[in-house]
Each structure stands twice: as structure tokens, then as C-alpha cells.
Amino acid sequence: MEYIEYFEEIKKHQSCRDFTDQPVGADELKQLQEYFHRCRRLIPELKLEMLVYNATAADKIGRAAGYNGFLIGAPNYLLLFSETGDHWLENAGFVGEALTLKLTQMGIDSCWMTINDGKAIRDNLVPDLEKELGVLIAFGYKAKEEKLARLDIKSPSNVKMHKRTGPYAAPKIELSDLLYNKKWGKPVDVDLIYRDLKEPLLALGVSQSFFNRQPYRVILDDDIISLIAIPDEMTSEQDIKLGQGIAMFNFEAVLAAHRPTDTKWHFEAPDRDLGLPEDAEFVAWCAI
Ligand SMILES: Cc1cc2nc3c(=O)[nH]c(=O)nc-3n(C[C@H](O)[C@H](O)[C@H](O)COP(=O)(O)O)c2cc1C
């Protein structure tokens, strides 16, 4: 079982919206399937099924996925179906992120597609499957060389181009804005965070999200971090939970590189006062 340097892949990853026609080869798809069966899960009890399609699936997906019904044309699509149950969407996002990073490691580009009508997609592609569609990712090889300018999507009517300054893809929330110290609203001195913890936090802070909205914050304590959801009217309940799963994967996978034993996320609230405002919602905590 090969080792993935998740932090390196997370820094490398950026969404691709312009693919060549070249389909991903059978060897790589086999590696992806193998990785899918053994990659970490948030809720291991929930059974998942990963199906990979070629470009012709786009006709069957139609406007049921993509921003404003605009599905990115790609030589391959990855669909992750899941049993439903508590936190099934967070789990699907978590595993979807693992798969995205495996693709990145293999030099394959990808882009998450928001699912506007999962039932329609399932009925058109696999009507007999008794699982719900959780994740849809377009993937293949990027058509153009990476440009320095990046897309900053605040909303469909507010899209700006930014010059890339750091190693990361789209502009992301700064650690100083993401983190609170023990209680909501209390600032963290980012310079004092030791490297073993800073890398997992940076990985969480550059997570992909619907329209790059990143509707969450993190409360840092001596022994745990808590992921907190903040309201975001633009993002659907489904994409909010997928985004939380992505953020949780990035943190857990990078932390694991610095810890002898794996730490896991827990969904029950910790026994302490986080001082949350009314519109913020506790999501999960993870021992550090
Ligand atoms: C749940 C989810 C849904 C997304 N849906 C779309 C989409 O429909 N179309 C698209 O072009 N990008 C989509 N994205 C990609 C985001 O726009 C992208 O992750 C974000 O802008 C950050 O850019 P980066 O991935 O390059 O860091 C989606 C991302 C997530 C996590």
C-alpha cells in the first residue's frame, strides 16, 4: 500500500474546468478503485459505491449537476453513491476528498460538481441502485498550462480574477480568520501554533467548497479542535455537509502524518462551553 503525502497533494490540488478529451487509462482507474476500497472513512458502517463513467454520461446527467445547471465537460465522471443514515453526506464528502487527492497524486485533474437533482442522475444512469448520490466529480487531464491568475467566485454575479500569491489554488480563508482560541471570537496567535498542528489546520483551511464559500470556523483548544458551521444562504444543505466532510478529511489525513495513532472526528458536542453565537452550529471535534 503506497503512502500518500496528503499535505503535498492538498497544496497541489486546484479545480480544473477545462479538460482534454483524453480519457483516464484503465490502470489509473484500477488504482482509483483499489484506493477507494481501503481509504479512510468518517462513518465506516455506511456502505458506499463508486462508479466511474466516460464522457457520454454528460448527456444523461444534463443540467442535474453543476453551477446553474452547467456541467463541466470531462472525459470521466466519478459518482459516489451511499447508504443514507446519520452524517452520510459528511462521510461522502470525506471519501470524495480522499479520491480527489488520489487523482491529484496520479497527475489527474478534477472538479467537484454540485448536485442539483441526484435522483434524476441516478434514475438516468443506475435506476436499480438502492443508494443515494452523494458526490459527483469531473476528472481528466487539464487542457491548458496552469495560469497564475485564479478564479475567485463569491457568487454567480461576483467572480474576480486574482493573481496567485501563495502555493494554494483559489484564495482561501486565512488561518487567523479561520481559528478561534478556546472560545468563539477569541483570536489565535497563528505564529505560536507548532508545525505538527499548523499543517493539518492549513490543510483544513484550503479545503474546496461550493463557490469557495468555506462556511465554517475552527475553535482550537489544548486537546481538541471543534469544527463550527456558520450560516451561508448561498450553499445548499447538501453542499454544506459535503464541504464539512472535505475539511474533516484534510485535517485528519494531514494530522495522521504527524501522529503514531489515528485520531477520529466525533459528532457529539464536547463537554465545554465554546461560547457559540446563536447562528453558529457545532459540527464535530477531533483530538489533537
Ligand atoms: C460541494 C462542492 C460543489 C462544487 N460544485 C461546483 C460546480 O458545480 N461547478 C464548478 O465549476 N465548481 C464546483 N466546485 C468547485 C469549487 O468552486 C472550488 O472547489 C472552489 O472554488 C475552490 O477552488 P479550488 O478547488 O481550486 O481550491 C464545487 C466544490 C464543492 C466542494
Q: Does some domain include residue 34?
A: yes
Cα of 207 vs centre of ligand 1, distance in Å, is 10
Question: Which is the closest atom of ligand 1 to the Cα of 168?
Answer: 27
Q: From CA 23, how far away is CA 51, in angstroms rounded?
A: 15
pLDDT > 50? residue 130: yes
Q: Which of 11, 77, 114, 240 to mutate to test the pocket of ligand 1 (most atoms within 8 A of CB)?
A: 114
* pLDDT score for 3: 78
**Ranges assigned E (strand) in the chain:** 48-54, 76-82, 109-112, 132-140, 149-155, 158-163, 179-181, 216-220, 224-229, 265-266, 281-287
Q: Are strands 179-181 and 216-220 parallel, antiparallel or unpaired?
A: parallel
Q: Quote the ligand 1 centre to 16 CA distance (angstroms).
A: 9
- Overall domain count for the chain: 2
Q: State mean pLDDT over 166-191.
A: 88
Q: Whose CA is nearest to atom 19 of ligand 1?
A: 208
**Residue 233, in any domain of the structure:** yes
Cα–Cα distance measured from residue 170 to residue 151, given in angstroms and rounded to the nearest whole number: 6
Any domain includes 156: no
Report residue 260's pLDDT band, with 50, 70 and 90 as the boundaries: confident
Is-contact 113 75, C-beta < 8 A? no
| Centre of ligand 1 from the C-alpha of residue 223, in Å | 32
pLDDT score of 34 more than 70: yes
Q: How far, in Å, CA of 32 to CA of 104, rounded?
A: 11
Note whether 260 and 214 are same-domain residues.
Answer: yes
Give the per-residue pLDDT at 201.
Answer: 98
Q: How confident is the model at residue 167 (pLDDT cuts 50, 70, 90)?
A: very low
Residue nearest to atom 17 of ligand 1 (CA): 211
201 and 124 belong to one structural domain: no
Residue 207 and residue 101 in one domain:
no
Gap between the Cα atoms of 42 and 27, Å rounded: 27
Give the domain range for residue 106: 6-140
